[in-house]
Amino acid sequence: MRIESKQAFEEAVKAATALNEKRTREIMVCCGTGCLANGSQAVADAFAQRIGDLGLDVKLSLHAKTTGCHGFCERGPLVVLKPEGILYTKVKPRDVDEILEKTVGNGEIIPRLLYRNPENRQPIEKYEEIPFYKHQVRVSMRNIGRIDPASLDDALAHGAYAGMARALFELTPEQVIAEVRESGLRGRGGAGFSTARKWDATRKAVGERKFVLCNGDEGDPGAFKDRSIMEGDPHAVIEGMVIGAYAIGAKEGYVYVRDEYPLAVHHMNLAIEKAKERGLLGKNILGTGFDFDLKVSRGGGAFVCGESSALMRSIEGKIGEPRAKYIHASDRGLFDLPTALNNVETWSVVGQILNQGGAWFASMGTKKSKGTKSFSLVGKVKNTGLIELPMGTTLRHIIFDIGGGILKNRPFKAVQTGGPSGGCLPADKLDLPVDYEVLSENGSMMGSGGMIVMDDRTCMVDVARYFLNFLIDESCGKCIPCREGLKQMLHIFDDLVEGRGKPGDIERIERLCKGMQLGSLCELGKSAPNPVLSTLQYFRDEYEAHINDKVCPAGMCRELTTYKINHDPCTGCHMCTRVCPTDAISGKPKEKHAIDQQLCISCGSCFDVCPEEQCIVFLPKKDIGGAHATAGN
Amino acid sequence: MQPCVDMTLLDDILAQYPHEEQSLIQVLQDVQRAYNYLPCEVLEKVASELKVPLAKVFSVSTFYKAFSLNPQGKVIIKVCTGTACHIRGATQIIDEVERRLGIKPGETTEDLGFTLHTVNCVGACAMAPVVIVGDKYVGAAKASDMHKYLTVAKGGDNEN
């Protein structure tokens, strides 16, 4: 069954496509991390069994992240019925018979399983019509939710390895690099370095062995597009890497996947095994004589291993400490041999670029940032999940048209991009077109595509402190500016959020930031001040309120905030009592409730669930007075 | 203090990898999974078999978060502290688990029932805040529901 010629490849694709077309009906059960958590495996099993019992000619495909996860994870398990494209949410095994009988058998819709537009509660039948999908242009995520990641034939029927076949059969390595250069593709891991230049440098470098690596150590909190690609379409990554290896002259490669993504590791391993069986990977690929071996390397749970030199040390079995950047990986990377490292998303579009041409990819995007970019849109936004759009789309379009606006229609405050190396952009930056340059010019960065939306209940000082806390944990400790700078800065931030801020703290923070930017060894330390500096730039008044007035304007810093129930609007709905973790709220149903300040830990759970306007309110703790109101201890 | 550890598990793991430094992290991953922590005796053997100095094995064991040198609880609770989870209330959840179990992140209850960890994003941000109790992902988790999950997890021990 090995494919060993151009003709055999074309025939294999034809056979796979024919098999797909013969099946007019497809039932796709999302089996991504989110839906699995909600029990989608049981639903998939129930479909498989009933279809077998009934002898129906239905193709059952188990998809990793069928719908690209847009808050639908909460609504999982998700089932999509093709050809109509009907989306059913929260499907239980007991619904399976009804779906097979009514929808598959008679074309009847089952209204109770449909998705409802959160705006007007109207049911939406087809998933393409859901606003979240309507505006998207999917290249890297083109097959996620469409193919069964465990089936190579399904991938072939959906165009996988076509770009690789073109590269290997028709182009020289130089021509492959030229095609990628024309596409204008830049690294999707965040820094935005030209992919063609990186490949070219590695090709020209001298070394007895060369490597291509895939960075699947998606450590930025709030980003999960790489997980989704590896889980949902691992063949796109393999295809890209074979093309890259051919262009560079590498015979070995590793996919470095973070330890927190067990399903991604599993699907990548499975796909590699299947590709090897069919001669799409390994020795003598497609009979062209080109050899390329690919392995998965599991990370150990260290954020710094997303940094290229640390990642390579980790594959070597060492601790993930970065080294100085003047040594280029293209000259001396893994095992000190020439290495090209690209992000999962970068690899996943390479096949499409070779298949559809560099010019096609370059026709999308902005002047310097070409093509499409995937983001995970999360946080306080109505539709959360993975999106892919041409570069240059405005933040407003992303957050309000695709994201559907802010949860509970609260005011928008900021959007955080670029993870711990990025920054927070305020409301007056919403009309900025998103590309590498624009984000950097405004104090943030592209990063690996996390886009975390924040509302007025997010304290920007707390957000900056959150990232410092994150980075302290993750700093490898090799260089002093990063290790000590973060620590000292966190001390100051602890003071701010606990009511001990003093004049001069902002200036002290700024000085530390400058030291870290100048003195740190790797990008982790150099970019660590970004979340701090961007919040200072756009939300300085919040810092001043914490320092001068001992007030948290968002009401999130516990030591500065207290909650109170206003008697008039309280209907005694009892919702707050149910969520209070310390039983600090007293009151019978339908009677006025009250908070015991001695028991209250100011967590804000009650505030967030209260359905009435102005019923539960937060106040600066100092305004309440009394023994309990003293800040800190 | 500790009963003798079963070294045959290690032999099975070592048989799957070439005996060289490059295999170290992969071997330790499997050891962590098989033993639920990295027992000292096992590390000594890993060092000699892979021909890596024991100091280096310890350095790797303590650098990466996936490894622990102390026995872990039967049920491991991981509270995701990714940005999306943070702004949707992960802190409340950590506080609540701390209150219920009397342990801080990284610690294990005395009866070895539970270990609490915080993790930097498990990539299930659309379900934020996320808690992983044992193998079960809980999305849109609420602090006030944590006692339920803990009770279920404790009762579920027998099934494992």
Q: Which two tokens stand for residue A214?
A: 């895939």
| pLDDT tens-place string over residues A84-121 | 889 898 899 999 999 988 988 888 999 999 988 877 78
For residue B143, the model assigns a pLDDT of: 86
Q: Around A508, how many Cα atoms within 13 Å sit in the side-chain half-sphere?
A: 17
The domain B7-63 having CATH identifier 1.10.10: the answer here is yes
**A541: Cα separation from own chain's centroid:** 31
Dihedral sign computed on CA atoms, order A405, A406, A412, A418 = negative
* B82–A69 C-beta distance less than 8 A: no
Amino acid letter for position A593 = H
Contacts of A473 in chain B (CB under 8 A): 120
Please report the residues numbered 385 through 404 in chain A whose beta carbons come closer than 8 angstroms to any beta carbon of chain B: 385
- Indicate the domain borders of chain B: 7-63, 75-154
Mean pLDDT over each residue of chain A, to the nearest integer: 90
Contacts of A384 in chain B (CB under 8 A): 84, 125-126, 128
For residue B158, the model assigns a pLDDT of: 40
* B124–A224 C-beta distance less than 8 A: yes
pLDDT at A627 over 50: no
CA distance A42 to A58: 18
Helix A225-232 and helix A344-356, axial crossing angle in degrees, nearest 10: 60
pLDDT tens across the length of chain B (160 residues): 455 788 999 999 999 999 999 999 999 999 999 999 999 999 999 999 999 999 999 999 999 988 999 999 999 999 999 888 988 889 989 999 999 999 999 999 999 999 999 988 888 888 889 999 988 888 888 888 888 889 888 875 443 3
Instruction: Please write down the HEC assignment for all residues of B54-68.
Output: HHHHHHHHHHCCCCC
What value of ipTM does the predicted structure carry?
0.88
CA distance B85 to chain A (A): 8
Contacts of B139 in chain A (CB under 8 A): 34, 37-38, 73-74
A312: exposed, middle or buried (Cβ count in 10 Å: 0-12, 13-18, 19+): buried
CA distance B70 to chain A (A): 17
Q: Around B67, how many Cα atoms within 13 Å sit in the side-chain half-sphere?
A: 26
Torsion angle, alpha carbons of A383, A442, A358, A228, to 10: -30
**pTM, 2 dp:** 0.90
What residue of A is the nearest CA neighbor of B53? A318
| pLDDT tens-place string over residues A406-461 | 988 999 999 999 988 899 999 999 999 999 999 999 999 988 888 999 999 999 99
Rounded to an integer, the average pLDDT of A230-237 is: 93
More confident residue, A18 or A491: A491
CA distance A431 to A428: 7
CA distance A526 to A421: 8
More confident residue, A612 or A626: A612
Which phi and psi (to 5°) does residue A315 adopt? Answer: -65, -35
Paired sense of beta strands A385-390 and A372-379, if any: antiparallel
| pLDDT tens-place string over residues A307-351 | 999 999 999 999 999 988 788 999 999 999 999 999 999 999 999
Residues 6+ apart with CB under 8 A from A356: A163
For residue A541, the model assigns a pLDDT of: 96
* B25–A298 C-beta distance less than 8 A: yes
Do residues A517 and A471 lie in contact, with contact meaning Cβ atoms separated by under 8 Å? no
In this complex, the residue of A260, A463, A605 whose CB is nearest that of residue B123 is A260
* A474–B125 C-beta distance less than 8 A: no
For residue A417, the model assigns a pLDDT of: 93
Nearest alpha-carbon partner for A423 in A437, A405, A443:
A443
Rounded to an integer, the average pLDDT of A25-31 is: 82
CA distance A179 to A322: 32
* A227–B25 C-beta distance less than 8 A: no
Q: Which CATH number fits domain B75-154: 3.40.30.10, 3.40.50.970, 3.40.190.10, 2.170.150.20?
A: 3.40.30.10
